[in-house]
Amino acid sequence: MTKLWKLYKSRVYKNCIGEFSQSDGLDFWRNKLFYTIILYLPLLAMILLIPSIIMTYFMNLLGLAVAYAIFAVTILFIALYRRMLIKFRKYFFLALLYLVAISLIFFMGKHGAGLTYLFGVTVFALLILPVNAGIITVVINFGLCCIHAILIFNGFVDYPLRDSFQVISWFLISGNSILLSTMAVIFMPMLFSGLQNTIIEQRELESKLLLHQNELESSLSEKETLLAEIHHRVKNNLAVVSGMLQLQSYKETNDQIRKKLMDSTLRIKSMAGIHEQLYQSHSFSNMAFDTGLKNLVNTILETLDDGRNIVTEFNLEPILLNINQAIPCSLIVNEVLTNSIKHAFEQGDEGVISLNLESGDGNLRLQVIDNGPGFPEDYDNKNENSLGMELIRTLALQLDANYKYESRVSNSGAIFEIEFEMSDSPGSSGG
Tens of pLDDT, residue by residue over 318-329, are 998 888 888 889
Residue 220 lies in a domain: no
Tens of pLDDT, residue by residue over 4-27, are 767 767 767 766 665 554 455 567
Residue 394 lies in a domain: yes
CB burial readout 271-297, b (16+ within 10 A) else e: bbbbbbbbbeeebbbbbbbbebbebbb
Asked if residues 301 and 404 have their Cβ atoms less than 8 Å apart, the reply is no
Q: Which helix (H) or strand (E) holds 369?
A: strand 363-370
Residue 426 lies in a domain: no
Domain boundary among 179, 213, 247: 213
pLDDT at 69 over 60: yes
pLDDT at 430 over 50: no
Residue 226 lies in a domain: no
Q: Are residues 165 and 50 in the same domain?
A: yes
Tens of pLDDT, residue by residue over 165-195, are 567 777 767 777 788 788 777 777 777 777 7
Domain boundary among 213, 240, 259: 213
Asked if residues 142 and 178 have their Cβ atoms less than 8 Å apart, the reply is yes
CA quadruple 157, 160, 161, 166: dihedral positive or negative? Answer: positive
Model pTM above 0.85 = no
Domain boundary among 213, 238, 259: 213
Q: Are residues 6 and 152 in the same domain?
A: yes
**Model confidence band, residue 109 (pLDDT cutoffs 50, 70, 90):** low
Residue 243 lies in a domain: no
Tens of pLDDT, residue by residue over 339-350, are 888 777 776 667
Domain containing residue 334: 303-421
Residue 61 lies in a domain: yes
Q: Which of 60-64, 109-113, 365-369, 389-393 has the highest mean pLDDT?
A: 365-369
Q: Are residues 12 and 143 in the same domain?
A: yes
Closest Cα to residue 53, out of 65, 64, 43? 65
* Neighbour order of strands in the sheet with 402-407: 309-316, 350-360, 363-370, 414-421, 402-407
**Model confidence band, residue 401 (pLDDT cutoffs 50, 70, 90):** very high
Residue 427 lies in a domain: no
The structural domain count of the chain equals 2
The CATH number linked to 337 is 3.30.565.10
pLDDT at 99 over 70: yes
Q: From the CB of residue 126, how many other CB atoms can be counted at a distance below 10 Å?
A: 23
Strands 402-407 and 350-360: unpaired
